A and B are shown apart, each in its own frame.
Chain A
Amino acid sequence: MKARAWLPGFFCWLLSCAGSAAAHEHHHPHHHWESVQLRGELWVQIWGLAAVLVGLAVWRMLERKRLQGES
């Protein structure tokens, strides 16, 4: 019964995604790997994510040192 209850939802989701994709395709007929602007945005995101990752590592290291100091 549970599995059957998922079916209409799955198909609705399938249709909505197809609609979104079709709308996107209509507005942007060019392939994304040809867009210079998108490549620039990706670089910004990559550097931002790398900075966050380094920040997380440093924070974790400091936290571990603090806990070691407390014990």
Chain B
Amino acid sequence: MNRLRQIYAISKVSYLENLRKQVLQVVLILTIAVIGSTTLLTFFDLGVQIKILKDLSMAAILLCGGVLAVVLSVGSIPSEISSHTAYPTLARAMHRSDWVLGKYLGTVATCMVCMAALAVVFVGIIAGYTHSVDTAVLTGMAFVSLEVALLAAVGTFFSLFTSPMVAGTLTLAVFAMGQIKTGFLHAAIERANGAASKVLLQVFYYALPNLDTFNFKDALVHGLPVPPAYMLMVAVYGLLYTAVLVGVSGLVFARRDI
């Protein structure tokens, strides 16, 4: 119980710290502008306009969450170490892995609050056109949130080894590769000549998170049915991947000499 209270306190401070960052406000305003701009597409039929609105808004929310997850997660721990503000907290009787978990949860909470605000704008615009609330949007948003949480875990993990700039670049690379993994890497494995390069690419392929599986935008836009068992499988996959990354980050930080 005491440990939970400590984790909650760390995450709350981290969340409040993140809210004050300028990048958060800029990205949020830009994304709201992108979502709001879809209301200007009045020269399309209403059905087409709603499809474009859903497509563009989901992509914008994912990008906003992705950018925030990368920027906030890679700077969260190194800034505390370099400014020595982490030392008084770590000197107390608390596990270092709990501190990492608290910082991670604070970052994720910030991203979730921003994405929830964007979702309200998005759902509000759709409701303004259709006079009903589309529940599929909520499902789509849940998976985008899971993807953003995973990305924040990747950023936290990299931030323990390198500088924030390098960690940010690596996390962005994982984000981009995770999106095009099935299309790009699978073809590369098939084209590989040597057995060693094939095995190496396969290891890389399975180690990278498959972020495209969290994308249910097509189902949302075109109203396609997705098997619930598949959605459950993707949710378990996302949670497991995040848990492993946060667990490894905790272990790495616990063994680090600071």
Contact = CB atoms under 8 A, between A and B. Distances in A.
A and B, one complex? Answer: yes
Interface of A: 2-3, 6-7, 10, 13-14, 16-18, 20-21, 23-24, 27-28, 31-33, 35, 38-39, 41-46, 48-50, 52-53, 56, 59-60
Contact of B206 (A2, A10, A17, A41): A41
A10 B67 contact: yes
B234 interface: yes
B182 A28 contact: yes
A56 B250 CA distance: 10
A49 B206 contact: no
B176 interface: yes
Given A3-B23, A13-B67, A24-B184, A42 B240 contact: no
Given A13-B67, A39-B230, 7 more contacts: A21-B59, A33-B226, A33-B227, A43-B233, A46-B240, A49-B240, A53-B244
Interface of B: 22-23, 25-27, 30, 59, 63, 67, 172, 176, 179-180, 182-184, 187, 206, 210, 212-213, 215-216, 218-219, 224, 226-227, 230, 233-234, 236-237, 240-241, 243-244, 247-248, 251
Contact of B213 (A14, A23, A38, A53): A38
A67 B25 CA distance: 45
A20 B176 contact: yes
A17 B63 contact: yes
Contacts of B27: 6, 10
A60 B213 CA distance: 31
Main secondary structure of the interface of B (DSSP, over half): helix
Nearest to A31: B218
A48 B202 CA distance: 14
Contact of B180 (A13, A20, A44, A52): A20
Contact of B247 (A16, A31, A33, A53): A53
B63 A14 contact: yes
Nearest to B23: A6
A24 B240 contact: no
Contacts of A56: 244, 247-248, 251
